[in-house]
Amino acid sequence: MADKTHENIFKFSIYQGRNVISERIFSADSFNPVIRYSVDIRPIIPEIIQRLQRTLSRRNLSFNRIDENAHVNYNFLKEYQNTCYDFKVRAEKLRKPFYIKKEINGKIIKGTECRFGLYINNNPIVERDFPVDQYNPAVRFSYEIVETNRELVEFITEFLKQTDIKHMWDDYNIIHTYGIYINQIRELGFRKRKELIDNVDDSQFVRKVRNEYRSTERRTNNRQQEESQ
């Protein structure tokens, strides 16, 4: 049996307590490896939390899903309620979760504790807890939470694409400013790369780096010639 090519995947998950409310998986292989393994979505975390808070506290929700192939209209909330009734168990997932109220850095935080997480190959990239005032337990069965998750994944994907494009242009600037090769760029650490990018307009710095790389290249070529003799 032929080996399957490994696929890298991102996963975006929404939790209330220990329970997964919604989860979505999407490919990570469309991004540059440098971007893929050094994801930084801190600039968009506040907006992600705001969108989730709005959805998780909504009162007017839709619970119907239409399976066009089977021509069936599912109401997931009713399905859950009916199953609980048939088995004579309480609808625990519709109970109001524990409500918190605490002070953090002089700010009062109140609501139901929720969390979102972004992962690559099940390894956490970022996880954030956030409160939801007036949390609606029925939201986990709704069309809205599925749509919000889909929209947030698209939002994150677009942010990573823009980061990827910027990374490629940074590569271009480094190559043409400092006269180095793409394989040398791949060997740069984060700090060194940032230093080169931040100083592309500093002629003295550029001249110094160019001379350093030329000297290194000459030493490498001389050593290779000596070894081949």
Count of Cβ atoms closer than 10 Å to residue 21 Cβ: 24
**Is residue 69 assigned to a domain?**
yes
Helix (H, G, I), strand (E, B) or coil at 123: strand
What pairing do the DSSP bridges indicate for beta strands 9-16 and 107-120?
Answer: antiparallel
**Is residue 188 assigned to a domain?**
no
**Is residue 196 assigned to a domain?**
no
Closest residue by Cα to residue 194 from 217, 210, 164, 173? 173
What pTM does this model have?
0.78
> pLDDT value at position 26?
96
**Is residue 114 assigned to a domain?**
yes
**Is residue 186 assigned to a domain?**
no
Structural domain of residue 135, as residue ranges?
Answer: 9-165
**Is residue 161 assigned to a domain?**
yes
Cα angle vertex 177, ends 175, 183, to 5°?
Answer: 20
Q: What is the mean pLDDT of each run of 10 residues along the chain (229 residues)?
A: 72 95 94 86 96 97 75 84 94 91 83 96 95 96 96 96 86 89 81 90 92 82 70
Q: How many domains does the chain contain in total?
A: 1
Asked whether 82 and 75 are in contact (CB, 8 A), the reply is: no
**Is residue 214 assigned to a domain?**
no
**Is residue 55 assigned to a domain?**
yes
